[in-house]
Amino acid sequence: GQNIDQPTEMTATEGAIVQINCTYQTSGFNGLFWYQQHAGEAPTFLSYNVLDGLEEKGRFSSFLSRSKGYSYLLLKELQMKDSASYLCAVREESGGYNKLIFGAGTRLAVHP
């Protein structure tokens, strides 16, 4: 079966750093994505990891450990506009194509 866990809610202060963790148990692992979703909007791509290690992209970094089934998203220099849900999604290879299995999302509230 598939199981993806991430905290339901987090709060942080503008300008600070926040780390959102994600643990997963899936079969046919083919990479892990982080998406940002503002209320009422489409999920938008933030990062992708398929190999162990850290991927950095501006204020956002994502880490993956395949042996531990663990990833985190690190957001630096938080801005008010970063208040959103952050979705961890594992890509599974299934029948010759790849589909995304999402966690429930972490709602991040950034306050002044």
CB of 12 to another protein, least distance (A): 20
Residue among 21 and 76 whose Cβ is closer to another protein: 21
Confirm if 31 and 10 have CB atoms less than 8 A apart. Answer: no
Nearer to another protein, 56 or 77 (CB): 56
Interface with another protein by CB under 8 A: which residues?
4, 30-31, 33, 35, 40-45, 48, 50, 87, 89, 91, 93-105
Compute the least distance from the CB of residue 93 to another protein, in Å.
7
Gap between the Cα atoms of 87 and 5, Å rounded: 10
Q: Which is nearer to another protein, 78 or 87 (CB)?
A: 87
Retrieve residue 94's tokens. 């299934």
Q: Which residue has the tokens 């970063």?
A: 82
Q: Closest by alpha carbon to 32, among 98, 97, 96?
A: 98
Shortest Å distance, C-beta 19 to another protein: 19
Residues 77 and 18 sit within 8 Å (Cβ to Cβ) = no
